[in-house]
Amino acid sequence: GAGVSQTPSNKVTEKGKYVELRCDPISGHTALYWYRQSLGQGPEFLIYFQGTGAADDSGLPNDRFFAVRPEGSVSTLKIQRTERGDSAVYLCASSSRGQPSGGGTGELFFGEGSRLTVL
Amino acid sequence: EDQVTQSPEALRLQEGESSSLNCSYTVSGLRGLFWYRQDPGKGPEFLFTLYSAGEEKEKERLKATLTKKESFLHITAPKPEDSATYLCAVQASPDSWGKFQFGAGTQVVVTP
């Protein structure tokens, strides 16, 4: 596709429920990232995939959070037993290869995010 | 611990009134400093990457500069369409490219 696509754009759920958020990266991008952004704050790193494997999941806040990317393209962020503190915008980003070479920009391309509200 | 602090938190400008945003950082080893623009309800949009002290990048009315401890985003003769939140981020990890540490952002409003 033309850009990073995230669904749903909005999700309202009740405390204790299970939630899945989907990210479709730019075609051909091997690196995929999940960030979380709370109101008035900058994005906070959660997890980074290079291909199918999670290269760095050090930002996942606890074991209720899990992400997969089984075929190296689409990724799903899964949140179990949601809590009110999980309410935030979950941003997905992708890049062509990760580490830039030759003075490249190394930019991440972000989607518009999935806004999660836990009541 | 790596830290990124942006100031001011908010900035209100008249159209044509130039100003600068500050991003100060404390990292063990800077591998890149990034500026992004974020419009309400949208994801961050890339503006610049700076790699070393003394480097400058320009795009239209925006110019980013980098020293060993901070970066500035200069907005020259802003227009209302420059209204957005400007985010600064650093890449410190040598292993996980894209594992950025973001600041909280500066919200800029430009009035006609």
The string of pLDDT tens digits covering residues B81-95 is 999 999 999 988 878
CB contact under 8 A, A100 and B34: no
Contact A98 B98 (CB under 8 A): yes
Q: How close does chain A come to B56, measured CA to CA in Å?
A: 13
Q: What is the distance between the alpha carbons of residues A26 and A15, in angstroms, rounded to a whole number? A: 32
* Terminal Cα distance for chain A, rounded: 33
Q: For residues B95, A51, A38 and B35, what is the CA-based torsion angle, rounded to 10 degrees? A: 60
Phi, psi angle pair for A35, to nearest 5°: -125, 160
User: What percent of chain B shows pLDDT beyond 70?
Assistant: 100
Give, as one character, the DSSP assignment of residue B28. S
Q: Which residues does chain A have within 8 Å of residue B32's beta carbon, measured at their own beta carbons?
A: 100, 106
Q: Quote the mean pLDDT of chain A.
A: 93
In the block, tokens 């890049």 appear at: A95
d(CA B78, CA A18): 45
Mean pLDDT of A4-10: 98
Asked if pLDDT for residue A101 goes beyond 60, the answer is no
Q: What is the pLDDT of residue A98?
A: 60
A102: confidence class by pLDDT, cuts 50, 70, 90: low
Determine the distance in angstroms separating the CA of A80 from the nearest CA of chain B, rounded to an integer: 24
Kindly report, residue by residue over A64-73, the tens digit of the pLDDT. 999 999 999 9
CB contact under 8 A, B96 and A110: no
Cα–Cα dist A19/A78, whole Å:
6
pLDDT bin (cut points 50, 70, 90) of residue A100 is low
Percentage, residues of chain A above pLDDT 90: 87
Distance CA B96, CA A53 (A): 13
DSSP labels, B67-90: -SSEEEEEE-S--GGG-EEEEEEE
d(CA A37, CA A92): 11
Q: 3-state class of B26 per DSSP?
A: strand
Q: Which of B43, B87, B100 is nearest residue A45 as measured by Cβ atoms? A: B100
Q: Angle CA(B91)–CA(A64)–CA(B38) in degrees, nearest 5?
A: 40
| Average pLDDT for chain B | 95
Res B96: pLDDT? 83
Residue that has been written with the tokens 């070479």 in this structure: A101
DSSP 3-state assignment of A86?
helix
- Flag if A56 and B95 touch (Cβ within 8 Å): yes
pLDDT tens-place string over residues B48-81: 999 999 999 999 999 999 999 999 999 999 999 9
pLDDT of A88 strictly over 80: yes
Per DSSP, what are the bridge partners of residue B19? B75
**Chain A: nearest CA to B16, how far in angstroms?**
26
pLDDT digits (tens, 9 = 90+) for A13-62: 999 999 999 999 999 899 999 999 999 999 999 999 999 999 999 999 99
